[in-house]
Amino acid sequence: MTGIIVPTRRNLRALHAGIFPPEFELAFSSATKRLARQVEALRHQRSPTSRDQQALPRKDLAERLFDALASAKQLTASVAMYLDPARRDRLLRHLDSLHDLAEWEEDNEPLQQSSFATFLKAMLAVNPERQPGLGLSHAGHLIGAWTTDRDRLTIEFLPNDWVKWVLARYNKEDDEPRRFAGQTPVSELTEGLTPYQPEYWFSHEQGRQRQESPR
């Protein structure tokens, strides 16, 4: 039997929270439902060291970097089955590189676990073919950067499932950039980027075509 499911505000809210309303039970595979619940579980996880950090004197820098990396790797492991091994290894390498003590600028915060959880949710939802270059804000928010020629998309992964993004695309006619920015829940990231052709940033093929086309 087939039928049409009409999305309502209530059942969309439930889906964003990883809950499948009865009318949706048949529409999604068990794997999809399991993935949504697992990602949602990240929202409530606490770092094993977070309580210690509140109670104990401030740790030295090397320990704080180590703890931040350990927490990020633990979160990554919890969704590892949904990540291509090569991508997962690259991600972990990049996180190591961002927390290199020799490169670290004093007074910066290491990666915040809640920001990294938002990043993982975004990557699982968007599943970009092109992975981002990674950076960190002063506050320890992970930053993802996609660059095609001179065009740039930058996403800051905020705590509590929010993302802030800005993109610049150069107009072929006048060679001037057009800039757009937004701030949305991570569950609405794809929707927010839809007017700006997400595949242009996230697909290898689209990026290649742009780079090869005459300006």
Partner 1 sequence: MNKGGKGKNLPDEDEVIRYVPWTRLRKDEDENVLGFLPHAFQLRPDEDYLSINWLQYHDGDRETQIRLSVWAIRDTFEKPLGAKSAFAIGNVAQIKKTCQACGSRVRVVHEPEPNNPGHSAIRQLPRDDLTLLEALASDAFTERVNNIDIHAKF
Instruction: Tell me which residues touch partner 1 (CB under 8 A).
Output: 90, 94, 97-98, 100, 102-108, 130-138, 143, 145, 147, 150, 152, 154, 156, 164-166, 168, 177, 179, 181
Q: C-beta of 27: minimal distance to partner 1 in Å? A: 34
Q: Is 10 helix (H, G, I), strand (E, B) or coil?
A: helix
Closer by beta carbon to partner 1, 20 or else 157: 157
> Rounded to whole angstroms, how far apart are CA atoms 167 and 101?
31
Least distance from C-beta 137 to partner 1, angstroms?
Answer: 5
Shorter beta-carbon distance to partner 1: residue 32 or 183: 183
Residue closer to partner 1, measured from CB, 40 or 188: 188
Q: Could you tell me if residue 113 is left (phi over 0), alpha (psi between -120 and 50 degrees) or otherwise beta?
A: alpha
Backbone angles phi, psi at 96, to 5 degrees: -60, -45
How far is it, in rounded angstroms, from Cα 24 to Cα 19?
10
Nearer Cβ to partner 1, position 173 or 176?
176
How are beta strands 162-170 and 177-185 bridged, if at all? Answer: antiparallel
CB of 151 to partner 1, least distance (A): 10
Minimum CB distance to partner 1, residue 28 (Å): 30
**DSSP labels, 83-143:** S-HHHHHHHHHHHHHHT-GGGPPTTPPPPPHHHHHHHHHHHHHH--SSPPEEEE-TT--EE
* Residue whose CB is less far from partner 1, 154 or 187: 154
